[in-house]
Amino acid sequence: MLKYLLEIRNKFILLAITFVSTLVVCYYYKEVLLFLVTQMHLNSEGLYFIFTDVTELVSVYFRLILFISLQSSLWYSFFHLFSFISTALHIQEFKFMSFLFNGGTFFLFLSCLLSSYVLIPFGWNFFLSFHSQHGFYFEARINEYLNFYVNIYSLCLLYCELFTILFFFLIDVQQNYSYIKKYRKLYYYIFLIFATLITPPDLITQISTTFLVILIYEILLFLTIINFCIRQFNLEAS
């Protein structure tokens, strides 16, 4: 027992060192990071940002540094959690948890690329297209743009990680088909609550998100059942 407690303590120390060192490195490159967030992917001519408070730019730097440090520390904490429990897992459990961890890591990087190169430039240009049509002039505050960036990135990360989370609902497919049929409605209610929490207070958006999540779940369920049937057929044939 003492051995495990010492290992947990060491992992918390490593997490603290990782967080602090990431803060220091990000602070050293804060101007570069702010440039990557504000200018690199927008490609807008004459784009500039303003700040109306003398401490606003400093707070933006610290918010950006803290945001990046928390993202890296969050992944590192999941890595330590996986490495800690991996020794107590069976082979099939280890493969499944390894698949979830690798899938979550993949969707994490995918959400970074998708939000930075697709969603944020598209959303920015889409909303700015309205003021050019009516002769309005827009001066963006750096603080408000950072809020826009963080919100889009968080939503994109949440939707991407949804593909990994849905596999938790498919663990029992290979063991009991009747269980899936019995609790399918309960899963639908969970998806509805999840869509209500992550979407704006708009009925159409909530219903659309719910149907999207259900569709993804049913596709994954169908593919899992087919994979299970193929493996059973190969086992019987061999």
Q: Give the whole-angstrom CA distance, residue 6 versus residue 188.
A: 42
pLDDT tens sequence across 193-224: 777 776 666 666 677 777 777 777 777 777 66
139 lies in the same domain as 28: yes
Segment (H or E) for 49: strand 49-50
Tokens of 2: 């003492």
**Which one-letter DSSP state was computed for residue 46?**
T
Name the domain count of the chain.
Answer: 2
162's CB contacts (< 8 A; 6+ apart) are 213, 216
Average pLDDT over residues 73-88: 83
Q: Using DSSP bridges, classify how beta strands 49-50 and 140-141 pair: parallel, antiparallel or unpaired.
A: parallel
Average pLDDT over residues 68-72: 88
129 lies in the same domain as 205: no
Q: Give the whole-angstrom CA distance, residue 164 versus residue 161.
A: 5
**Which one-letter DSSP state was computed for residue 54?**
T
137 part of a folded domain: yes
Could you count the other beta carbons within 10 Å of the beta carbon of residue 152? 18
103 lies in the same domain as 217: no
pLDDT tens sequence across 101-126: 887 888 888 888 878 787 777 777 77
158 part of a folded domain: yes
127 lies in the same domain as 226: no
pLDDT at 40: 60
In 3-state terms, what secondary structure has residue 238? coil
Q: Give the whole-angstrom CA distance, residue 59 versus residue 136.
A: 29
pLDDT band at 65 (very low <50, low <70, confident <90, very high): very high
164, 195, 211 — which closes off a domain?
Answer: 164
Cα angle 124-130-131, degrees, rounded to a multiple of 5: 95
Q: State the first-to-last Cα distance of the chain, in angstroms, to the nearest integer.
A: 45
79 lies in the same domain as 148: yes
pLDDT tens sequence across 6-60: 777 888 888 888 888 989 998 898 888 888 887 665 655 566 777 777 788 888 8
164, 196, 230 — which closes off a domain?
Answer: 164
pLDDT at 45: 59
Asked whether the beta carbons of 115 and 156 are under 8 A apart, the reply is yes
Domain, as residue range, for 232: 175-238
170 part of a folded domain: no
133 lies in the same domain as 220: no
138, 164, 190 — which closes off a domain?
Answer: 164
Sign of the CA dihedral 169, 174, 175, 180?
positive
pLDDT tens sequence across 135-189: 666 677 888 888 888 888 887 787 777 777 766 656 555 555 666 667 777 777 8
